[in-house]
Structure formats: C-alpha cells, structure tokens
Amino acid sequence: MDIKKIILTTALLSIATAGETTALAAKPQSSVAKITHVKVTKHKVTGHTTAKSHVVLLKLKNNQKTSATANKHGNFTLSVKKGNLTKLKFKIKVSKTGLKSRTYTHKVKSTAQVAALSRPHESTESPTPSGKPTTAQPSTPSSTPSAPSKPTTYTKQQIDQQRKIFEDALLAYLQIGNEAPQLTKAQQEQTDKVNKLLQTQMDKLKALSNAMTATTTDADEKRRTIAEARAELDAVNKLCDEAISSEEYQSAIRNEAIYRKKTEAAYNRADAESNKLSLMQPGYSFDFGNL
C-alpha cells in the first residue's frame, strides 16, 4: 500500500464507536451541512443542517440575537419576541467545532415580486405577419384532450393534502435515523481494529516523513532511521489490508452503504414535497420543536 492509497483509505473510513456505525464510506466533511428547508414565520425560523451544530440568528433590528442547537437529526428552531421575521432581512450562521461554518441570508421579497408571483398568467396571441392573409383552418377533433393548465390558486383541500404528504415524507426521513445498521460483535471488533490500524498508519507515515526530512550530519544513521520507519509502516500497511478485506468489515460497509442510499432517497422525497408545498402555500413552516 503506497502513500496515496493510505490517504485515500483514511478518507473513506471514519471511526465507529459505542456500538454505532458511522460514515464508513463517506467523504471527509470539511464544513457544516448546507442550511436547507428554511421556513420563516412571524416569530420563528426553522431549518435543517449538521446535527448538534450551533445556530445563530444575526443582524436583526434592535440588535436582537438568538441562538439554538440543532437536534440529533440536524433540525433547528430559532425564535424571537420582537418584529416580524417575514418582513426582515437577516442571516443564519451555523458552526461546529472542527468544521467550517456556513451562513444563510434571508431576503425580503418586494411587494412587486409577491404580486408578480400571485398574478394569473395571461395568454397572448402572436400577431399575424403583415402582408400575409390568414386562412381559417377547420378544426379537427382530437383523440386525446389537451392537458389542463396548471392552476395558479389552490383550494384548502389541495393545500392540506400536500401538507400531509410533505409532513409524512419528512417524518419518514427523520425516522430513518432509528434504523441505522447495528453491528454484530464480530463486525464491531473488526471495525475498531481497522480504525486503530488506520491511526497507527498515520503515525508511522508521519515518523517516516520526519526521518526523511531530519537534518543530521551522520548519513548512515539517517539511512538506518529511514529504513526502520519504512519497515514499520509496511508492516502496519499489511495488517490494515488484511483487516479491511475481512468479511466482517466488508459486511459492515455494505450495510452502511444501503442505509445511506435509503437516507438520501428519503431526503430527496421530503425536499421535493417541501418545494411543492412552498409553491402552494408560501411561508409554510413545519414545527421541528416537537420532534
């Protein structure tokens, strides 16, 4: 296993502890998750980001500042006592130790924009080119009726139905967290072994790098030090290869991949239903506080 393979392997495998499978095949996360599903009401803002991250509402009038901690699913709720958030421009900043923070800016739509969104579409007819007389063509019956145009207004029943679809999809996504694959004793032991070997691998790689860059006047001593460091690294690499290729560890990775694929599908469904509801009922807010 060469240095490039060591780094790649380490990037793909993260620590699994306390009997829970973590993101074994995930890419390393350098920043908190994007701030999504933001819903704004008069005195409350809800949304979704990295679990257990610190969320702050900034740049409000009267120097108001409020903060909260995202729950284990990454959902958060920020509340204020003064002002109407739907009419204010503000920022949401999310941070977590070891990760880069993110900022989300809420912009207030102008009255003209709101009116344009709610205004029914008007059909227009193309003008007849000058100098070319038009001849009325007899209409022919169509075997398939034309599709009705999309309504610009929705009934309460339609909105309630879409709200129920969205909330069911969102709750289904959140509940997947309780279905995380449980490792058997053998899988847990092998996973712990791999993670310890990966850490040792990094230590040995660092020792080799230090030996190669060390400043010394004794060339023979430096060669011996480098040879010993390289031999130790090769030995750890061999043990790591054997542990990673074990059936217990590979089974744990397969189960984690299935779980992540299921989670992604559920999230995409909830996101799609949320977008539909936002078109039908702008400003709708799902209360994460009771989750």
Sign of the C-alpha dihedral computed for residues 145, 151, 154 and 160 taken in this order: positive
- pLDDT over 80 at 137, yes or no: no
Q: How confident is the model at residue 286 (pLDDT cuts 50, 70, 90)?
A: low
pLDDT single digits (tens) 142-175:
555 565 565 568 898 999 999 899 999 998 888 8
The residue with greater pLDDT, 30 or 20, is 30
Q: How large a percentage of the chain has pLDDT more than 70?
A: 70
Q: How many helices (H) and strands (E) does the chain have?
A: 6, 7
CA 233 – CA 210 distance, rounded (Å): 13
Q: Could you read off the pLDDT of 210-257 as tens digits, one per residue? A: 989 988 888 888 899 999 999 999 999 999 999 999 999 999 899 889
- The conformation of residue 25, written as its DSSP 8-state character, comes to T
Instruction: Evaluate whether 80 touches 42 at the Cβ level (below 8 Å).
Output: no
Alpha carbon distance, N-terminus to C-terminus of the chain: 46
Closest CA to 1 of 199, 158, 234: 234
Query: Is pLDDT above 60 for 5?
Result: no
Provide the pLDDT confidence category of residue 139 given band limits of 50, 70 and 90.
low
d(CA 179, CA 174): 10
For residues 79 and 43, the answer to whether their CB atoms sit within 8 Å is: yes
Among 280, 223, 240, smallest CA distance to 2 is for: 240
From CA 90, how far away is CA 83, in angstroms rounded?
Answer: 12
pTM higher than 0.75, yes or no? no
User: Where do the domains of the chain lie, and which CATH numbers do they carry?
Assistant: 1-28+153-291 (no CATH), 36-106 (2.60.40)
Q: What average pLDDT does the structure give for the chain?
A: 76
Give the bridge partners for 77, in sequence order.
46
